[in-house]
Structure 1
Amino acid sequence: MRRVRYEHSGGPEALFLEEVPAPEPGPGELLVRAEAIGVTLPVVRKIREAAEPIPLGGEVAGEVVALGAGVTGYAVGDRVTGLVFGHGYADFVLLHAAMASPVPAGASAVAAVALVRSGLVAYGALQAARPEPDEAALVTAAASGVGHLALQLARLKGARRVVAAVSGARKAEFVRELGADEVVTYDAGSWGEPVDYVLDAVGGALLKPAVAALAPHGRLVAYSSGGGTVEAYDLLVGAKSVIGFQMGLVARERPETYERWRAEVWEFYLTGRLKPVVHREFSLDRAAEAHTVIEERANTGKVVLVP
């Protein structure tokens, strides 16, 4: 089978395609023929930041072709989606049964990949903000794989006004079509009228204007891998708060919450209220191009590999 790997840190140019034997599922694992693989910013960053090469994991959807010992609830031929922590950029991947969920009838593998992580992260970050009806929301990276779902979910949860913050004006039409009332660019001097909560997927230098965009008693949910710091005084003067959110922690420590959110996200999708958008599909041998799109923040919607 084909697999994408890298041997040294760097950018997309470090990726290469290799031929390796298909893996055998171990206890509790499913062997899945990959139909769609999600490309995410955290994985893209790992290639530049990891001290040692690590497997390129992430979101995968496809067909179960073999079962490991002890697996129950799944059968060969089932279509599943989930998070792969080993090698995920491959024709065949190992998915732990505990991290798998069925792909509902009528849903494509690409849609499943867009929802399995990005949709759940967007929904979880929104829940962490404790949204109330008729509040105003601001979403950074609003055109990204997570952000374009977060702005839709904010509206579904009752936001009366949704502001989309994006890296450039060329993304404005895209986010407006998804329901944004206002669009601001990161370099704007002001992000408009204050909001009740911010869902921040960028971090770094954007934390300061994101906090400034909050109304008194506002909440900022930070779920970016980009780091950054917030001045305590900036929180104190407006009684504002910053809330950290990490989906992996919820999945491990609150599995019942994770399952409930997953069911709710699928329900939003199947009833047509949540619409994942795919920026572009790339073949497996063009993984470097897919990573370049993410690094340059050129995507509007999800970037997907389709073996």
Structure 2
Amino acid sequence: MLAIRFDRFGGPEVLAPVELPAPEAGPDQVLITVEAAGVNFADTHQTDGSLLSADRLPYVPGSEVVGRTADGRRVLARVSGGYAEQVVADASGVLEIPDELDAGRALALLMQGLTAWHLLRSAARLQPGETVVVHSAAGGVGSLAVQLAKEFGAGRVLAQASTPEKEQLALELGADGVASYPLEPGAAKADVVLDAVGGTLFDQALESLASFGRLVSYGNAARTGFTPVDPARLGRLNASVVGFWLRPTLARPGAVEGPLKELFDLTLRGRLRPVVHAESYPLAEARRAHEDLLARRTVGKVLLRP
């Protein structure tokens, strides 16, 4: 079968199509023929070695797929090695989905949807009426976080994005305005900031928090290294920085099924619009998908199709 693998750490250029034996399902596992695999920004960190150690090489990336089981069920699944034509998944990580939910929207709701949900509910503990700033608001997580913040009762949602076109998309998704730092004179400071960028944006956002505001850091897309946070500075600002990582969150009881059920329900009722990138990339062109993702040329969920 065709799969995408890297044998050394680096940029998108290390991703190569290879022929591998088809996997075999073990006890409590299912074999899935992949309809589409999701691409996440975390995959680029795996590729460059910032999330993996060398003893894991060679490595097939990909943490989520939509596909068919051997008995014909159409499923959404958390996996390891999803950049492939076939993959095995633990039965506990497989969820049957209806045909009316296309692969792009379903994949958007898994890792990125759960991230957005937990950023607001579990990490930020958003309260009704609060002001939320969402960085990378046209991305897979950000585009969902803008909408969920409104759904969860935020009083005002401001969007930060890298281009005017992406800012416009965030406004169409329900953002009340565009965030630029320092926040516009006279505007209320942010109660919650969701930041996956780091670097300069992190520092600017921290200074823009209201009293008892929360800056939730869940990534370092700027790749500038982690910003030191002085406890005395937090005391002066009367604010907090909250770290968030999805992987340990998913291991908590009730962290997956309940939130996913709510996300599916909101989507099927038309209250939540998962954004899917206009182009689906052939599996063999995973390198180009990573290049476009890193260059900020994508919007919403990015898909690979075998």
Q: TM-score, normalised by structure 2?
A: 0.90
| Structure 1: runs of 5 or more not aligned | 66-75
- What secondary structure sits across from 1:150 in the alignment? helix
Deviation at 1:62, TM superposition (A): 0.8
Q: Which amino acid aligns with 1:8?
A: R
Query: 1:174·1:300 contact (CA, 8 Å) conserved in 2?
Result: no
Q: CA RMSD in A?
A: 1.6
1:55 maps to what in 2? 60
Decide which moves more: 243-252 or 110-119.
243-252
State TM-score, norm by structure 1. 0.90
Residues paired across the two proteins, number: 292
Deviation by residue 1:49-108 (Cα, 9 ceiling, x = unmatched): 24523330211111112xxxxxxxxxx1111112212x1100101111111112134211
Deviation, 1:233, is 2.9
Separation in structure 1 between the aligned mates of residue 78 and residue 21 of structure 2, nearest angstrom:
21
Query: Which amino acid in the other structure matches residue 191 of structure 1?
Result: L
- What residue identity is the alignment partner of 1:100? V
Asked if the contact 1:15–1:288 (Cα under 8 Å) also holds between the matched residues in 2, the reply is yes
Cα deviation, residue 204, structure 1: 3.3
Distance (whole Å) between structure 2 residues aligned to residue 60 and residue 177 of structure 1: 28
- How far apart are the structure 1 equivalents of 2:44 and 2:239? 32
Residue 161 of structure 1 is aligned with which of 127, 144, 156? 156
Provide the C-alpha distance between the structure 2 equivalents of 1:225 and 1:152, rounded to a whole number of angstroms: 22
Counterpart check, 1:77 vs 2:36: no
Q: How does 1:125-164 map to 2 (within 5 A)?
A: 125-127=119-121, 128-164=123-159
Question: Which residue in the other structure is 1:122 paired with?
Answer: 116
Deviation per residue, 1:123-167 (Å, 9 max, x gap) = 011102111111110011111111100111001011121111112
1:46 is displaced (CA, Å) by: 1.6
Partner residue of 1:183 out of 156, 178, 185:
178
* Range with bigger deviation, 103-112 or 137-146: 103-112
Aligned partner of 2:269 among 265, 268, 271: 271
Partner of 1:111: 105
Name the aligned partner's letter for residue 258 of structure 1.
V
Question: For the residues of structure 2 that align with 1:218 and 1:111, how far apart are their CA atoms?
Answer: 32
The answer to whether the 8 Å contact 2:114/2:260 transfers is: yes
1:37 corresponding residue in structure 2:
37
Q: In the alignment, is the contact (CA less than 8 A) between 1:44 and 1:291 conserved in 2?
A: yes
1:286 aligned onto 2:285: yes
Instruction: Note if contact 1:42-1:225 (Cα within 8 Å) is conserved in structure 2.
Output: no
Aligned to 1:10: 10
The answer (yes or no) to whether the contact 1:28–1:97 under 8 Å persists in 2 is yes
1:103–1:109 CA contact under 8 A, matched in 2:
no
Which segments of 5 or more consecutive residues in structure 2 lack a partner in the other structure?
none
Any conservation in 2 of the 1:202–1:225 contact (CA below 8 Å)?
Answer: yes
Residue 189 of structure 1: how far off its partner (Å) = 4.5
2:167 is matched with 172
User: Is the alpha carbon distance of 1:123 and 1:39 closer, same or farther for their aligned partners in structure 2, counting shifts above 3 Å?
Assistant: same
